[in-house]
Structure 1
Amino acid sequence: MMVQDLIVKLGWTGFSLPFLAVGLYTMNKGRKQRARSERIAATETTRIGNVRPGTVEVKGTARPAEDANVFDSPIWTEDALATRVEVEKWESSGQGGGNWETVHEEETAVPIAVDDGTAEVRVELPADGGLNVERTRTKVGSGDEPPEPIRRFLETRDDIDEATRRELGPLSFGERRRYSEGVIAPDEEVYVLGTAREEQAGWGDRKYVIDEPTDSGDFVLSDKSETELIREGKRGGLVPLAFGGLLTVVGTLLSIYPWLAM
């Protein structure tokens, strides 16, 4: 019996580990979101004319840099300096619920000149990205044909699988998809948080470029206000913290209960 009891206890412990792992991961994700919003709130805005190497937060009007051009956004073909595109599909749990799973995301940006009236600074998106933009989201229902702009976008992307569709008589069935696109347009007001460095300029002149994350790992290029970004981070971090905490508690109880009860 002792061996059987031990096997049962170890089985319960093994069963609890995914709850603990997912719970801790989710809590950490929420903690990072809230911590970033606190760092945004704590960083003072620098007038661009006073920018020096190091962590900076600047705000101003975005225009293409001298060596850059406006381009068409991938889905809605709007004039853009930077775009973020996300494609999601609905994963059903089989019990009436489910969740949206990201199957494709991309960020694209040309070098941007941000001007606040005192000077301008060059901003380049790092390889890891950092766009946080207002997005237009389009849902395509089960078996529905996507709108023409989305069909055109999909034709240019070999790395995105088409939504599955089946027909049964006059009815069509298939995957549900969501297509989101956010754009930073020319002459739009933007917020930037990152690390500034000095770049080569003319004799006696100093020019700076913001193209790297801060020491804390933050890089943000956004068309949202600082207040919106702070509120978004606090609110967005609260849900994963609460859900992750619940999973962690459940996992902990499942792991210790057999050892106390048997």
Structure 2
Amino acid sequence: MAPEILGILIWISFGLFFVGVGCHVINIGRKQYAQSDRITDTNTTSISSLQPGTIGIEGIAHPAEDATVRKSPIEMDDALVAHVTVEKNTASEGTNWKIIHEETIQEPIIVDDKTGEIRVEFPLDGELIVEQMQTEVHSGHEPPERIQRYIETELNVDEAPRRRYGPVGVGEHRRYTEEVIKPGENVYVLGTAREIQGSGGEQMYLIDEPTEAGDFILSDKSRDEVAQQLKQIGIKRLAAGGLFVFIGTLCISLPWLFS
């Protein structure tokens, strides 16, 4: 009897794990799908006619007068905003990535849509949706030159331990991801606009806060492209989460079906 009970408990434990993971993934997918709908429902506004509150704008990004164009940490591109993520996975392959370092650099931006200009300041909790430059360094392998340079200059990132035993590499599998908004790029911004006083006393607008729904997006894609990307990712996560819940429910049910 004891071995049977132990077997049932093992199946239930596996099942609860899969159900928990599935519900978490479903929740993320649901939020991304809902965010996509909010983007679609927020029409882009010409800067010359905007009002305080939730707005979406599209235009060309330039550095503000008090900004300093900086070099992105890894690719060394001119950057107004850049975000770097360093992840590790102790297995040579897999998807169980753990973030070990994140950093964001941001400078004030002027967005020009040919009808007017507006200042944008990217908050630390803002969402950057741009093309990712991603480099994976497999266990035991030497990182490429630009990654090695980044490791040497970034005090918060140490070099991954690595050893090789003949053809077999042992150590951490790492992934380095950089996202950049460059000067002169077409950008899309979703956030909350508010009035500020300019240096000459004139009234100006600034976007530096999320919307009431918690959205602040800066992207090098158009509004429709951002909405479509988030919707596709949301659908995939909803499907993956549903599959995990199904597998978990099946694991929980199997001992009772065959008892």
**Same topology, TM > 0.5:** yes
Q: Which residue of 2 aligns with 1:85?
A: 84
Decide whether aligned partners of structure 1 residues 168 and 233 sit closer, same or farther in structure 2, where only a CA change above 3 A counts. Answer: same
Q: Which residue of 2 aligns with 1:72?
A: 71
Residues of 1 paired with 2:141 and 2:200: CA distance? 61
Decide whether aligned partners of structure 1 residues 261 and 69 sit closer, same or farther in structure 2, where only a CA change above 3 A counts. Answer: same
Matches within 5 A, 1:3-42: 12-42=11-41
1:205 paired with 2:207, answer no
Decide whether aligned partners of structure 1 residues 4 and 90 sit closer, same or farther in structure 2, where only a CA change above 3 A counts. Answer: closer
Contact 2:126 2:215 in 1 (8 A): no
Give, as a single letter, the amino acid of the residue that structure 1 aligns with 2:125: D
Residues of 2 paired with 1:100 and 1:8: CA distance? 27
1:255 paired with 2:252, answer yes
Which runs of 5 or more residues in structure 1 are unaligned? none
Q: Give the 3-state SS of the residue equivalent to 2:87 in structure 1.
A: strand
Q: Which residue of 2 aligns with 1:47?
A: 46
Give, as a single letter, the amino acid of the residue that structure 1 aligns with 2:219: S
1:99 paired with 2:103, answer no
Contact 2:82 2:106 in 1 (8 A): yes
Q: Give the 3-state SS of the residue equivalent to 2:242 in structure 1.
A: helix
Q: Which residue of 2 aligns with 1:60?
A: 59
Provide the TM-score with structure 2 as the length reference: 0.88
Residues of 1 paired with 2:200 and 2:123: CA distance? 28
Matches within 5 A, 1:153-164: 153-164=150-161
Q: Number of matched residues? A: 258
Give, as a single letter, the amino acid of the residue that structure 2 aligns with 1:78: D
- 2:112 alignment partner, one of 112, 115, 125: 115
Q: Give the 3-state SS of the residue equivalent to 2:160 in structure 1.
A: coil
- 1:136 alignment partner, one of 133, 136, 142: 133
Which runs of 5 or more residues in structure 2 are unaligned? none
Contact 2:194 2:205 in 1 (8 A): yes
Task: Give per-residue Cα distances to partners, 1:128-167, cap 9 Å, x unaligned.
Answer: 1311111222232332221222111112223224222113
**Which moves more between the two structures, 217-226 or 249-258?**
249-258
Residues of 2 paired with 1:141 and 1:151: CA distance? 14
RMSD: 2.6
Give, as a single letter, the amino acid of the residue that structure 1 aligns with 2:17: P
Residues of 2 paired with 1:165 and 1:40: CA distance? 44
Task: Give per-residue Cα distances to partners, 1:96-153, cap 9 Å, x unaligned.
Answer: x621513333222111111111111111111213111112222323322212221111
Give, as a single letter, the amino acid of the residue that structure 2 aligns with 1:251: G
The sequence identity of aligned pairs, in percent, is: 51
Q: Which residue of 2 aligns with 1:227?
A: 224
Contact 2:197 2:203 in 1 (8 A): yes
Give, as a single letter, the amino acid of the residue that structure 1 aligns with 2:95: N
